[in-house]
């Protein structure tokens, strides 16, 4: 059967020419300026329109930056970019930054989408064909790649070599070497809680971990000493990874975590050590806005179900509440908050190992309060409970938990600011300012920047304007 060919509606020489031109333009609908018969005047007008739209200044972002009271250079430091990148964003030269920068910009402004910052929607990443190679930055790697690397590092039958272990130690390694690594870990842990992750330069922390991994290639007279050294170095990597994360060195933190997971495979406490690292990686994912990845990591941490204490399980429940709060799941958040409270109430702290002794009632209130704070921005029904938990956390933290106390106070001030409570906002913000003065934690600085965004509509009150100016010094 012969199918009749469709005949153009317009016939004759001129009609066929018009149909041909129309078809060419239809095929190139998104860029008609390439159609050979397109009138030059319309083509020029279309090009000017496209260029004007493309380079239109991002006034939304400009206004938000000015509301923070920062210059382009200060704003660049706040969101982990360069001054040139900020200029490109504000001028409209860049329609949408990378996901990593969007996440960082969202924190001080309280935004979750590119459009809220004046950018175009971020396009979906195309699928990669089989065999095709694509370079990715560590912080922008896909969820499957990130979790795959984590699983491989933790459970691979053939552990990968730790990075930069080019000069292994040839001498005998004994229990004194293990004690030295454990003492180093204890000192760094205390410094981290008291001052913050940026108490030491990232390069110094990375080098400390690298030097510790060299000991793993030494000669051990006893198998027990070798296993103890793997445990000590793995715990040291966990601590250093968290300090790197706290000072915003996310690439270095993830490399350290992955190396620690590989080292943990030869440790006698491999499952508890894995669970610790998984929980810290989950906290990092929450900080980066990767809440689904955090949830997966916390599920993996539960593989140590029978080998960790109830206190550790309570900590996992509290962090999982924060992950679900970031997703926006109110019911699951409240479920894990309740589970954290119940599990902690039934825990016997006397049987807790040293590496979880830091998680006390103040930390529990701070973690669950942080989860509720995330939801309270859009769910006013949980604001009172968030305020109660954060106030309890701030009041119960002692001298050794200054960073946790400062985080609780900043979030408490944020909750009062959301409620437009001038007196309580000023009081909490002043307390946060005093505690934060001696701390060195870029993660805390990001929380302060987010608080300042909520203070801007209240600056007509003199007390708010004064404390906002003081907090600006903490984020510079």
| Residues 58 and 89: beta-carbon distance below 8 Å | yes
Angle at 268 between CA 264 and CA 270, to 5 degrees: 35
Residues 6+ apart with CB under 8 A from 36: 24
**Nearest to 294, CA basis, from 306, 307, 305, 280:** 280
Half-sphere exposure of 406 (CA within 13 A, CB side): 27
Q: How far is CA 116 from CA 304, 359, 373, 442, in A?
A: 41, 37, 20, 24
d(CA 169, CA 146): 31
- For residue 318, CA distances in Å to 15, 279, 323, 436 come to 72, 11, 9, 24
Helix, strand, coil abundance in the chain, percent, nearest 5: 70, 0, 25
pLDDT score for 160: 42
Whole-angstrom Cα distance, residue 249 to residue 326? Answer: 22
Is residue 170 within 8 A of residue 218, CB to CB? The reply is: yes
Helix (H) or strand (E) holding 91: helix 83-91
* Run of H or E residues at 135: none
d(CA 226, CA 218): 9
Long-range contacts for 160-167 (Cβ within 8 Å, ≥24 apart)?
A: 160/262, 162/213, 162/216, 162/259, 162/262, 162/263, 163/210, 163/255, 163/259, 164/210, 165/210, 165/213, 165/214, 165/216, 165/217, 167/214
Side-chain half-sphere exposure of 65, counting CA atoms within 13 A: 22
Query: For 220, phi and psi rounded to 5 degrees?
Result: -110, 130
- Name the DSSP class of 181: H
Question: How far is Cα 420 from Cα 146, in angstroms, rounded to an integer?
Answer: 40
Residues forming beta bridges with residue 173, ordered by sequence position: 220
Phi-psi region for residue 118, left (φ > 0), alpha (ψ -120 to 50) or beta? left
C-alpha span between 472 and 40 (Å, rounded):
53
Sign (positive/negative) of CA torsion 310, 311, 312, 318? positive
User: Where do runs of H (alpha helix) occur along 215-329?
Assistant: 223-246, 250-264, 270-287, 291-301, 310-327
Chain centroid to CA 10: how far? 60
Closest CA to 261 of 146, 144, 143, 162: 162
Digits of tens for pLDDT over the chain (476 positions)?
444 444 444 444 444 444 554 555 554 544 544 555 545 555 555 555 555 555 688 888 888 888 888 888 888 877 777 888 888 888 888 888 877 677 778 777 777 678 888 888 865 544 434 333 343 344 444 454 556 667 667 766 544 444 444 556 667 889 999 999 999 999 999 999 989 999 999 999 999 999 999 999 889 988 999 999 999 999 999 999 999 999 999 999 999 999 999 999 999 999 999 999 999 999 999 999 899 999 999 999 988 778 889 999 999 999 999 999 999 999 999 999 999 999 999 998 888 888 898 999 999 999 999 999 999 988 889 999 999 999 999 999 988 899 999 999 999 999 999 999 999 999 999 999 999 999 999 999 999 999 998 999 999 999 999 999 999 988 76
Query: Tell me, what's the pLDDT at 42?
Result: 53
């Amino acid at each position: 059967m012969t199918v009749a060919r469709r005949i153009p509606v317009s016939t004759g020489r001129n009609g066929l020419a018009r149909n041909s031109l129309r078809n060419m333009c239809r095929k190139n609908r998104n860029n008609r300026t390439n159609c050979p018969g397109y009138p030059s005047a319309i083509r020029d007008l279309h090009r000017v329109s496209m260029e004007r739209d493309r380079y239109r200044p991002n006034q939304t972002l400009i206004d938000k930056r000015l509301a923070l009271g920062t210059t382009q250079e200060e704003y660049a430091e706040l969101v982990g970019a360069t001054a040139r990148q900020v200029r490109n964003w504000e001028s409209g030269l860049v329609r949408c930054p990378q996901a990593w920068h969007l996440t960082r910009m969202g924190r001080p402004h309280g935004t979750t989408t590119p459009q809220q910052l004046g950018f175009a929607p971020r396009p979906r990443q195309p699928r990669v064909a089989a065999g095709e190679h694509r370079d990715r930055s560590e912080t922008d790697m896909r969820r499957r790649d990130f979790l795959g690397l984590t699983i491989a590092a933790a459970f691979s039958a053939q552990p990968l070599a730790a990075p930069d272990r080019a000069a292994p130690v040839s001498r005998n390694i004994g229990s004194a070497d293990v004690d030295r690594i454990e003492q180093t870990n204890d000192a760094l842990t205390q410094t981290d809680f008291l001052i913050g992750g940026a108490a030491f330069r990232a390069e110094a922390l990375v080098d400390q971990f690298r030097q510790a991994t060299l000991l793993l290639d030494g000669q051990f007279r006893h198998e027990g000493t070798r296993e103890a050294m793997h445990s000590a170095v793995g715990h040291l990597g966990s601590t250093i990874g968290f300090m790197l994360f706290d000072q915003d060195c996310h690439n270095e933190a993830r490399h350290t975590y992955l190396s620690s997971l590989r080292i943990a495979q030869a440790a006698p406490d491999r499952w508890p050590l894995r669970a610790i690292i998984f929980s810290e990686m989950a906290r990092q994912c929450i900080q980066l806005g990767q809440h689904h990845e955090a949830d997966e990591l916390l599920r993996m941490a539960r593989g140590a179900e029978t080998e960790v204490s109830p206190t550790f399980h309570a900590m996992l429940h509290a962090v999982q509440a924060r992950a679900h709060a970031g997703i926006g799941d109110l019911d699951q958040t409240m479920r894990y908050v309740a589970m954290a409270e119940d599990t902690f109430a039934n825990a016997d702290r006397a049987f807790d190992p040293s590496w979880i002794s830091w998680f006390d009632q103040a930390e529990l209130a701070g973690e669950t309060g942080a989860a509720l704070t995330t939801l309270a921005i859009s769910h006013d029904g949980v604001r009172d409970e968030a305020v109660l938990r954060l106030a309890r956390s701030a009041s119960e933290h002692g001298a050794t938990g200054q960073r946790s106390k400062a985080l609780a106070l900043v979030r408490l001030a944020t909750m009062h600011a959301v409620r437009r409570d001038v007196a309580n906002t000023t009081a909490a913000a002043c307390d946060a300012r005093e505690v934060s003065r001696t701390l060195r934690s870029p993660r805390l600085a990001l929380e302060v920047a987010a608080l300042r965004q909520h203070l801007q509509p209240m600056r007509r009150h003199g007390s708010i304007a004064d404390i906002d100016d003081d907090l600006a010094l903490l984020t510079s």
